[in-house]
Structure 1
């Protein structure tokens, strides 16, 4: 049991925690900080180029027929989650409240949603489409939700932010997708290298974000009690959405395989999308503190969904509509 629990902390999670520790002890300052920021921006561009190149047009058309399922996932991701986020942010105090709201505005994950759906013996093709649609929509929907829900107490979305979103997120994504016929074979043959670039870009942005926040006094502003409160809020948020998606799958009469897709794709929030988006939407000094709830939620969702997926695989809850 202990060994199985420890396996949930995959190397990337340990690398993520190590990056936060490094940024806390040795944050980049002065000219070094500017170079790190430029490298982080380049990492964001490359990250979204790869996301665009990985998105198969065939997979989009193949999964489009599951439109009820995809709409349910999108509604959970961009309606239910934000409503819960607004409720939580109104009762939470301190600087982490904005980060709690921000995480609820993000799209779903891709890799872990598909992986857990496969483990639970769900509709993998539909999960690929739902997760991809969510991430594609998130490039536009997340900044709009930030402007709508965080405009008065958060950063809002300025003209420069819109320009950054277009140049750093949307343009590379579209360029990557258009280049897919040319690079898809290379990406398939070098999955290890592309995965390293994918995760390395995230770690670089996290280091830049937390380093800037530490210089501005992050750990003087966030107490252990704040971290415990956020962890509890993330756990309650995930539990509420897991219950809601399970009940929704049953109410919609979805087949078991599709209900599993709704459960896993609808309950996730993407660290891979959230880190670069925070870097674009928020001032550098705020990014680190905004990302704290997302990083905690990311680990909690991995642990919880790994347990749930294994139970489905073992036959628990295998009745239709669960």
Structure 2
């Protein structure tokens, strides 16, 4: 119980809740929306620049050699989880707005988290090095894979992605990441020496993207658009995605006969989805009026995955020590 309550004190969770509350009470509108989107784009650019600066190229190269672990994980995250999201979207489209249904497809094709997947793998006695590299590789691949998969899997009744968003991905996500990798030898140490400040910059950038996206959703009547029974449907479908993610990743790792440490790392890297990638991608790929609704399943999933991961990691840790 203490571990679950502690999730509410996670700085990112508090910032996300604050962003949603602020967007609900004081959404950005009119001419301010264009200015807010410029600020959001700048924050996302900074976020991916920092990612490029702190992700060692050597670490990624070494991790990619563990193909027995990495290839099935890529297939799971961008393949089987994508089809689970597509199934959930099909059920959601019967009762929920099309943009929210599209959010389940978006959730399914997102890469793994980096920080929390690594942290919970460490707590549970997993292979931390494999977790770090796997999450990093998945997030790099996500920049290239997520948008095309959405375009392929989204049905004709769902809102389309903003084609201009593909160019914005190159300018706002890929370009700063490449710049960060190039400058890593000069500035990487500065980032490593100021991890706390950099971590807060990450969180604020994500919160800004969520605030701008949810402002658009609130303008579209988010809180009146979804009724109380529909919220129940939404939560049930997110629960389905969580059960599929956690049980499926654990079962697949056992089927692959991974050693216990790698199996733990596969679980958290395979089941968790990244709001750090989801919020920027949603704001880049979708129009402002759509992005907040698309992001709704991702936000709920993100909070609940943390609630679930804490006791799961604690139980696995006790099993490993016993």
Give the structure-1-normalised TM-score.
0.94
Pairwise CA RMSD: 1.6
What is the rounded CA distance, in whole Å, between the counterparts of 1:216 and 1:156 in structure 2?
17
Farther off after superposition, 4-13 or 175-184: 4-13
Q: Which runs of 5+ in 1 are unaligned?
A: none
Would you say 1:223 and 2:222 are equivalent positions? no
What is the rounded CA distance, in whole Å, between the counterparts of 1:265 and 1:72 in structure 2?
11
1:68 positional shift: 1.1
What is the rounded CA distance, in whole Å, between the counterparts of 1:316 and 1:195 in structure 2?
30
1:317 positional shift: 9.7
Q: Which residue of 1 aligns with 2:212?
A: 208
1:242 positional shift: 1.5
What is the rounded CA distance, in whole Å, between the counterparts of 2:275 and 2:202 in structure 1?
12
Runs (4+) off by over 4 Å: none
Pick closer, same or farther for the CA change 1:317–1:149 going to 2, 3 Å.
farther
The one-character-per-residue Cα deviations of 1:85-141 (angstroms, maximum 9, x if unpaired) are 111111122222111221111111111111011111111111111101100000010
Pick closer, same or farther for the CA change 1:316–1:240 going to 2, 3 Å.
farther
Instruction: Select 2:287's aligned residue among 283, 288, 294.
Output: 283
Correspondence 1:220-259 to 2 at 5 A: 220-259=224-263
Farther off after superposition, 50-59 or 102-111: 50-59
Q: Which residue of 2 aligns with 1:50?
A: 50
Task: State the SS of the aligned residue for 2:14.
Answer: helix
Would you say 1:269 and 2:269 are equivalent positions? no
Farther off after superposition, 242-251 or 34-43: 242-251
Number of equivalenced pairs: 317
What is the rounded CA distance, in whole Å, between the counterparts of 1:106 and 1:237 in structure 2?
13
Q: Does the aligned pair in 1 maintain the 2:48–2:177 contact within 8 Å?
A: yes
Pick closer, same or farther for the CA change 1:153–1:55 going to 2, 3 Å.
farther
Would you say 1:187 and 2:191 are equivalent positions? yes
Task: State the SS of the aligned residue for 2:176.
Answer: helix
Task: State the SS of the aligned residue for 1:116.
Answer: helix
What is the rounded CA distance, in whole Å, between the counterparts of 1:223 and 1:42 in structure 2?
35
Q: Which residue of 1 aligns with 2:156?
A: 152
Instruction: Select 1:94's aligned residue among 93, 96, 114.
Output: 96
Q: Does the aligned pair in 2 maintain the 1:151–1:157 contact within 8 Å?
A: no
Task: State the SS of the aligned residue for 1:106.
Answer: coil
1:83 positional shift: 0.7
The one-character-per-residue Cα deviations of 1:192-237 (angstroms, maximum 9, x if unpaired) are 1111110000111111111122122222212232222222211221
Give the structure-2-normalised TM-score.
0.94
Q: Does the aligned pair in 2 maintain the 1:72–1:262 contact within 8 Å?
A: no
